[in-house]
């Protein structure tokens, strides 16, 4: 009982926890913990302890974890600075706009000259080898416009962007266009994509949807709020190519104000690790079509609805009992419970970066886009 109470208070109040801080005598540990680095979050600790982050932006490309860890984005490419928040003519984007950078063939590390709000008139189609790096500016994409799409491309990093109010938009052009359905980030037939430290809310469709056999994807350190269907991983029970999907969802904060799909999975292998769940309206983690789900070291705080899990489409128990849905080291509060099934196959082995659930509070405290200034810790 004493141990349970201890775990309860350390994780709810995060007043003290056994420190995962790296030993580094030259750093001021308490200052760094305040700044959010040195918390044990392996992605943040990889770059946030560097006050010169703005001179070493491309280091971020080596900081991904999980299935999306090979996403190098625009590493090795030139820096492209967005100076113009406009999107006057999506078919012929003007130099200085975000869209112009995103459609170039060469690798680019895209940064922003100042705070800006971008309302894309058509979906923002991202080509291969691009990093969209919002650090140092407050960048909002959406606000009634369309948002990001990665289609049949690879090596994309989207970091530090607030993506909200994304709405459907007409085709971008007869040749490359498709109707966007209003996702925040739509990842379709793509591989090696990493979405990190984005703030996502209130879009017409999903906040981050990963479909059509996309694989090698990580969504980390994001803050997802005020939305119904948060994250769809695999879109159709008949689309067996989704067996190839490998997606990691780690260090995110889900809620408040979310209803379902955190995430909703089909066919592939999904690692849901060290996330903080602040309530859910219907369910948190769900799926259909026999997905393999490892829920490891998450913190689930239930509201009215207590069950974390949902097998969509109400398959018979004889069927879903064979699906590998594992809860390993999750912390449950306020009556939350996970209905496990199947067994631990090779694919559900805990990833090496996973930390105990008692560290989730400090590791996700600043989830979402950060406010960073040049020359100081971010």
Ligand X SMILES: *[C@@H]1O[C@H](CO)[C@@H](O)[C@H](O)[C@H]1NC(C)=O
Give the binding site for ligand X (CB under 6 A). 24, 26-28, 30-31, 34, 49, 115, 138, 151-152, 189, 371
**Residue 48 annotated to the active site:** no
Written as one string, the DSSP assignment of 287-323 is: EESS-EEEEES-EEE-SS--B-EEETT---HHHHTTS
Cα–Cα dist 78/58, whole Å: 10
Cα–Cα dist 202/146, whole Å: 12
Does residue 38 contact residue 28 with C-beta atoms inside 8 Å? no
Q: How far is the CB of 270 from ligand X (least distance, A)?
A: 22
Q: Which of 261, 264, 296, 311 is catalytic?
A: 261
- Cβ-proximal residue to ligand X, closest one: 31
Q: How far is the CB of 63 from ligand X (least distance, A)?
A: 14
Please, where are the H alpha helices in the chain? Answer: 2-13, 29-35, 42-47, 98-103, 317-320, 360-364
Q: How far is the CB of 123 from ligand X (least distance, A)?
A: 11
Tokens of 35: 């700044």
Tokens of 83: 């100076």
Q: What are phi and psi of 205, to 5 degrees?
A: -115, -130
Cα–Cα dist 84/217, whole Å: 29
Active site residues: 261
């Amino acid at each position: 009982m004493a141990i349970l109470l201890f775990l309860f208070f350390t994780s709810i109040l995060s007043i003290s926890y056994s420190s995962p801080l790296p030993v580094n005598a030259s750093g001021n540990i308490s200052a760094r913990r305040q700044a959010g680095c040195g918390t044990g979050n392996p992605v943040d600790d990889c770059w946030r302890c560097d006050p010169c982050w703005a001179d070493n932006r491309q280091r971020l490309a080596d900081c991904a974890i999980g299935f999306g860890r090979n996403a190098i984005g625009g590493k090795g490419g030139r820096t492209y600075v967005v100076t113009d928040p406009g999107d006057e003519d999506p078919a012929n984007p003007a130099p200085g706009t975000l869209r112009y950078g995103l459609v170039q063939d060469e690798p680019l590390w895209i940064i922003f000259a100042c705070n800006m709000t971008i309302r894309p008139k058509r979906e923002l189609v991202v080509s291969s080898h691009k990093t969209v790096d919002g650090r140092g500016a407050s960048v909002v994409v959406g606000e009634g416009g369309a948002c990001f799409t990665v289609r049949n491309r690879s090596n994309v990093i989207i970091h530090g962007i607030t993506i909200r109010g994304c709405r459907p938009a007409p085709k971008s052009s007869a040749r490359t266009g498709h109707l966007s359905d209003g996702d925040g980030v739509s990842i379709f037939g793509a591989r090696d994509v990493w979405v990190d430290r984005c703030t996502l809310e209130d879009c017409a469709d999903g906040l981050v949807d990963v479909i059509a056999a996309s694989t090698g994807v990580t969504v980390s350190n994001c803050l997802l709020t005020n939305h119904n269907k948060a994250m769809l991983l695999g879109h159709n029970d008949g689309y067996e190519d989704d067996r190839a999907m490998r997606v990691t969802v780690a260090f995110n904060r889900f809620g408040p104000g979310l209803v379902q799909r955190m995430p909703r999975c089909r066919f592939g292998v999904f690692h849901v690790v060290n996330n903080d769940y602040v309530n859910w309206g219907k369910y948190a983690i769900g799926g259909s079509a026999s997905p393999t789900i490892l829920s490891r070291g998450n913190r689930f705080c239930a509201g009215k609805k207590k069950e974390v899990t949902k097998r969509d489409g109400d398959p018979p128990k004889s069927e879903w009992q064979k699906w590998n849905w594992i809860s390993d080291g999750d912390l449950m509060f306020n009556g939350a419970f996970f209905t496990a099934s199947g067994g631990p196959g090779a694919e559900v082995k805990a990833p090496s970066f996973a930390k105990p659930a008692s560290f989730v509070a400090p590791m996700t405290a600043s989830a979402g886009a950060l406010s960073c200034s040049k020359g100081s810790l971010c």
